[in-house]
Amino acid sequence: QVLGLQSEWQVAKRSLRKGPEVLVPEEEENALPGAHPSQLPLQLQHDAPLRHHHLVKAQITQLGAESRSLRDSYLQLRKQVRRLEKQVHSAVLRPARLERVADDSGADNAEVLQRLAAVENATRSLSQSVWNATHQVAGLGALRGSTLQLLESLEALETKVDASVPAVQREISRLEFSLAQVRAVAHENKEDLENQRASLKAVASSVSTLQERTAADHALLGALEQQVANATEQQEEARPPRPPRHHAQQDVHVQVEQVADDASVPRLVDELSQVQAEYEDIVHKLPRDCSGVRGDSGEYLVAADGAGAPLMVPCDMRTPRGGWTVIQRRADGSQDFNRKWEDYSKGFGKLAGEFWIGNEALHRLTADGCMELRVELGDIYGQRWLAEYDQVVVGARADGYRLSVTGYRGNASDALDYQTGMEFSAPDRDRDTSHTHCAQNYEGGWWFSHCQHANLNGRYNLGLTWFQADRNEWIAVATSELKLRRQPGCVTRPPPPTASTTSTTTDAPSTAASTTSSEVLADLSSAATV
């Protein structure tokens, strides 16, 4: 029996020496097997700001609590396993003692065997529990990683949304501006329709009235003809006899002799001839435009067509290539551009602020076909736009100051292509091709074809537009400058013979004498010849 009991103890000893496969050294007692420290759900390692994720944060907190509970259970199981292991180890180290007492206490041996079996079962159960806890911890770590990835994706989405907010706001502003324009056009169309209806009613009433009066007029016509005939006969009878013809001729000869005897006329003609020569010499020495000016940006006198009255114009020397003659400026709405056709012909405004140089001055500057046009725009969002044309010509007054542009380039679209070949329209003179009065509706003069393809002289904050064809929308213009520059090496054509008829005004940028000295000389020369 002792030998048999010893054999059983040996078997139990070997099984106890093998031990559970999940046992770890004592120095790793506070670490969870199978899980990397970075995977512990005790504290989130991700320190990025998490906004608007209260539900996700609550789930992470719950997972952390469950993880801590599992860790505590695991540590308790480890302590129990260690105690059992120590007890088994103590029992294994004392086999001799057990063998000595085996003869005296067979019942104790059976009890020990039962306890060993129970310890073995408990060890296996603990090993299984530890293995399950390890897998649960690993699952929690994977869940934590997925949660962090989800939160990072949400943060990236929030960043994209925040970045797109300014663009959305700009688009809303643009749409609001377009809506305001559409509403303004609709309101004007409605008013035009009501006016047309009222006009039709008035015309119908007038036609009825005229038809009624026509019969009465025909009845009176005969009586009036008879009265005219009677009055004519009475005048013929009452008219005094005409003086002889030779008396009138004699009076004319007397007046001519008085003029011929006046010795001051030839002297006055000589003096005016000298003044005329000096004046023409000064005019010929003036540059034809700002491309011939040598100096800084400022206001200069130029002889636009080499003759006629000089023009005071602002010159821009800072823009690339320099020598630009500024012909229009809009900046703050301080100048009223809702003016008549004659005002646009002469020019108006202040050269240092908002102004229009005048259509007559534009004709004199561009008649030789050697001017290029530069259109500089700034929209309400602060973006800059540019449209340039290799050639621009503004026709004479008799042709309605007709516009012609060619050779477009720039990032602002070719909006003037819709208006080339058009005469200049003003609120008091409609020369566009639209069924509405563009200049009157948008309160400014321009070369309109159909309204709003381009209009830089309209009412500020509403009528300043430039059509952007590639985006099929209008640029909401806040500032504009139109500039001319002579093309280098251009062979000029002689301008058509036109008289300078622009008058001098206190606030107009272009000035000219109403009667030139050459006309005075011609009159005096005729008198002297007589």
Q: What is the pLDDT of residues 254-311, one digit of tens each?
A: 554 555 555 556 666 777 777 777 777 787 888 889 998 888 999 999 988 777 788 8
pLDDT at 341: 96
> What does the DSSP assignment read for 116-162?
HHHHHHHHHHHHHHHHHHHHHHHHHHHHHHHHHHHHHHHHHHHHHHH
- Looking at per-residue confidence, does 146 or 357 come out higher? 357
What integer pLDDT is reported at residue 465 of this predicted model?
A: 87
Q: What is the mean pLDDT of residues 478-494?
A: 84
Q: Which fold has domain 266-489+502-526?
A: Gamma Fibrinogen; Chain A, domain 1 (3.90.215)
Q: Which helix (H) or strand (E) holds 192?
A: helix 106-238
Average pLDDT over residues 518-524: 42
The two three-digit tokens of residue 94, written as one number = 């004392």
Between CA 466 and CA 426 the distance in angstroms is: 18
Q: By the 8 A CB rule, do 377 and 384 touch?
A: yes
Comparing 155 with 482, which gets the higher pLDDT? 482
CA–CA distance, 512 with 530 (Å, rounded to integer): 31
Q: Please, are residues 429 and 405 in contact by the beta-carbon 8 Å criterion?
A: no
Q: Which region among 142-151, 207-216, 322-331, 478-487 has the lowest average model confidence (pLDDT)?
A: 207-216
pLDDT higher than threshold 80 for residue 495? no
Higher-scoring residue by pLDDT: 453, 199: 453
Whole-angstrom distance, CA of residue 116 vs CA of residue 480: 100
Q: Where are the chain's structural domains?
A: 2-166, 266-489+502-526
Q: What single letter denotes the amino acid at residue 226?
A: Q
pLDDT confidence of residue 512: 37
CA distance 151 to 172: 31
CA 316, 321, 323, 325 dihedral sign is negative
Mean pLDDT of the chain: 76
Please say if the pLDDT value at position 108 is more than 60: yes
Are 505 and 454 in contact, with CB atoms under 8 Å apart?
A: no
Q: For 493, how many CA atoms within 13 A lie in the half-sphere containing its CB?
A: 11
The upper half-sphere exposure of residue 182, i.e. CA atoms within 13 Å in the direction of its Cβ, equals 8
Helices (H), 31-105: 54-93, 95-102
